[in-house]
Structures are given as structure tokens and as C-alpha cells.
Chains A and B, each alone.
Chain A
Amino acid sequence: MYGKRWVIPGMILFVALAAFPFYWYAVGKDKPFPQLEMPKNAKACVEKTPFMRANHMRLLDAWRIAVVRDNLFVYTAASGKTFEMNLHKTCLGCHTSTEKFCDRCHTYNDVTPPCWECHLQTETASKGSAS
């Protein structure tokens, strides 16, 4: 092979550098999954927890479209329980503090949904009116 004195160490160096994030960060420990503060007034969410964990944003999206476009208002879950399709009344009615529930997981997963630029929690609202 032509110029192997330089090519082979070069290739090794390249692979070492390119794979740097994998072996460097694999050394540390997993960041522990955040502790969420569960609502006290309800035992179960709208749907089962694994479904909610994976799909809450899509459920909210479907709810929004149904409410604003199709005049629908009530959601009957698979369990037979009914809920108003309303983020403020239904979701925040149980999850009273978004900081202790939504944000902890979102921060852990490094996602920043812009919900609170428009939607309000009762706590933020009282802060807003005081200023």
C-alpha cells in the first residue's frame, strides 16, 4: 500500500476522534430519571400511563383539533370515564404545578414545547396580575 506509514495511523486517529462522544460519555452514569410530583386528587390519567407518557402531546393535538374545528367537547376514554377536552380544566386541574410535572420531564429530555407562552397555570396567572 502506498504511504501506509501515514495513512494507517491517520485512519486510527480519525476513528478515535469521530467516536469520541461515544466512549467519552459512556464512562459516566445515567442521569437519574426525574421525580415527578403526582396529582393528589386523581389516581389515573385520561388514558393509561404508558400511552400518556408516549402520546400526551398527540392526544392534546387531537383534542385541540376536535374542539376548535369539529365542535366536540367531551372525551370518553377507553376506560369509559369522560373528560372535558380542555387543557386548563382537565390537565391542569390535576397537574397543578407544571414546574413539578411537565417541566421536569421536558428538561430531562431537552425539549421546550411553547405551551406556556399562551396557556396559563393558575400560579403564573396570579404572578402576572400582581405585576
Chain B
Amino acid sequence: MTISRRKFLKTTSVSCLALAAGPSLGHGYELLELPGRMSKGPEELKAKRWGMVVDMRKCDGRCTEDCIGVCHEIHNVPFIPEAEHQVMWLFQEPYENAFPDRSRELVSKVLKNRRFLLLCNHCDDPPCVRACPTQATFKREKDGIVMMDYHRCIGCRFCMAACPYGSRSFNFRDPRPYVRKINPAFPTRRRGVVEKCNFCQERLEVGKMPACVETCKKGALVFGDLDDPDSEIRRILAESPHVRRKPELGTRPSVFYLF
């Protein structure tokens, strides 16, 4: 058998390529078909779209360390003294920072001296979700919570740039040494991921209200289903004038403020 040099080179190079390419095709990471099945928790609190009302007439800011403290403690949120590295799920800002779009001229004393309780707005149309390149942050269709899967976060911080409310924090350093009292039932985060309020998803699934709502003794925080016309939150919103942060952006926040 004779074979030309040209044909030999062609055949060998194509065969080598096929050998190299073979294993790399069709070996993507596939989810496993589990032998069991998964279902909802029996005690889970259900809603189509979770929302919160922050009644600033009742929240005078004197005990906000309590709700912020409880939230940060159960979620292992680190306490980092340097402002630029701070991580916050629930936090406070003065009126002009919380509502920069509203009139700042001749503001009433009540509003001016108040520190507004802020958290992730769990927007109906969340810009952070659109910005996330890995779908690490997403809106759950079943209950409207804007959640994060920290395993998928690559730390690009596009979501932080996209969030108009400053509700997201980046772990510039390993947060664990800065967690004051570690709650082993909830994971900490690692350096290089973004984190934010999750509307206490881990509590809702076992039938508990969010920790801040449960902690507030003054009834300033009301949590409920915005899609249910008979819910308490809808009754409050129907009765009292309310505002949302930066409504002109069209993100449709699920957190409402009463003044």
C-alpha cells in the first residue's frame, strides 16, 4: 500500500483532532435524575408576591439596632468598621439619601431627623437580575423574592452597579473573622461574592415571618402578600398614602414606606 505524504499528514491530523475533541463534547455538567422526589414544606408561608410596609410613623429609629442586629446575627452578616467595606442587609439612611428623588426643599422636621430603614426592595422588575451574567441573582416566579445563589456568584459586581438602591454589598475580604457571633445554621459568605437581604426565605419556608418583622415591637414592619387583595398589607396600602423609593425608574419595589 502506498500513501502520499500529503494524505498521511491529513489523515493523522484529522484523527488527532477527533481524538482530542471527542471527550470534550457531550460531557457538560448535567443535573442528576434523583431517585426521590421533592416537595414543598408543610408549614411554608405562601404568597404570590411578598412585600413589606415600613411605617415610619411608628418606626422612630430608637430601636433599629434591634431589628438590624437580629437580621445581621442570624444571617452571619459581618461587622466591618471601614465604611467602604461594610456589608449591610438591613440599614438606615437619612431622608435625603433614602429618597433623593423627592423634594429636599423645606422638608418637615419629622422627615429630616428620621433615619429610614432600608433593605433590598425585591423589585418586581429587578435591574440586578438583568445585569447578572451568571444568573446567580434571580427573581423567584413563585413568590417574587429576589434571591441569590452564592455558589454561582463570580463577584463581577454588575448587580451592585445596576441596583439603584445600594442594597447590595460586596465581600472585599473574608467576612468570617468579622462575624460577631456565628450562627452555624446559616452559611457565611466568602471573599468575592455579593450579598443582600433575602426576605428571610429560610424562615418563610419553615413558617416563620422575617426576623426584622418579628423583632419589631412597634408593629412598624408589616409583611404580606401584595397579590392578595385581602391581605393586611394590601389593606394598609389601600388606607394610607405611601411611597416607594425611586418609583420613576420603573423597578416597582415591593417595599413601601408610610410617612
Residues in A lying within 8 Å of B, measured CB to CB: 46-47, 51, 55, 58-59, 61-78, 84-85, 88-89, 114, 117-122, 124-125, 128-129, 131
Which of B2-10, B13-21, B140-148, B225-233 makes up part of the contact surface? B140-148
Q: Could you write out 20 A-B pairs with CB less than 8 Å apart? A: A46-B36, A47-B36, A58-B32, A61-B32, A67-B205, A68-B148, A69-B138, A71-B40, A71-B44, A71-B140, A71-B205, A72-B39, A73-B41, A73-B206, A74-B39, A74-B40, A118-B189, A125-B183, A129-B181, A129-B182
State whether B36 touches A114 (Cβ < 8 A): no
**Contact of B140 (CB < 8 Å), options: A69, A75, A89, A121:** A69
With A69-B140, A71-B142, A128-B179 as given contacts, are A118 and B187 in contact (CB-CB < 8 Å)?
Answer: yes
B93, CB-defined interface residue at 8 Å: no
A64–B152 Cα gap in the complex (Å)?
Answer: 11
Residue B92, interface by CB 8 Å: no
Partner of B149, one of A47, A55, A58, A68: A68
Interface positions, chain B 185-201, Cβ under 8 Å from A, are: 185-190, 201
B205 touches A73 (CB 8 A): yes
Instruction: Establish whether residues A64 and B184, one from each chain, have CB atoms under 8 Å apart when the complex forms.
Output: no
Question: What distance in Å separates the Cβ of B195 from its nearest Cβ neighbour in chain A?
Answer: 10
Asked if B1 CB lies within 8 Å of chain A CBs, one says: no
Q: Cβ of B151 and Cβ of A64 under 8 Å apart?
A: yes
Q: Chain B at the A interface: mostly helix, strand, loop or mixed?
A: loop
> Which residues of B, 137-179, contact A by the 8 Å Cβ criterion?
138, 140, 142-143, 147-151, 176-177, 179
Q: A51-B35, A76-B36 are in contact. List 13 more A-B contacts (CB 8 A).
A: A55-B32, A68-B149, A69-B138, A73-B206, A76-B38, A85-B38, A89-B185, A114-B190, A118-B189, A118-B190, A120-B188, A121-B184, A125-B182
Q: Quote the shortest CB–CB distance from A41 to chain B (angstroms).
A: 18
Which of B's residues lie within 8 Å of A, judged by CB?
31-32, 34-42, 44, 138, 140, 142-143, 147-151, 176-177, 179, 181-190, 201, 205-206
A-B contact count, CB below 8 Å? 97
CB nearest to B145 among chain A residues: A71
- Cα A51 to Cα B35 with chains together (Å): 9
Q: How many whole Å from B170's CB to the nearest CB in chain A?
A: 15
In the complex, what distance in Å separates the CA atom of A131 from the CA atom of B42? 39
Q: How far is the CA of A50 from the CA of B181 in the complex (A)?
A: 38
Contacts of A114 in B (CB 8 A): 190
Query: Are A75's CB and B35's CB within 8 A?
Result: no
Q: With A and B bound together, what is the CA distance between A122 and B185 in angstroms? A: 8
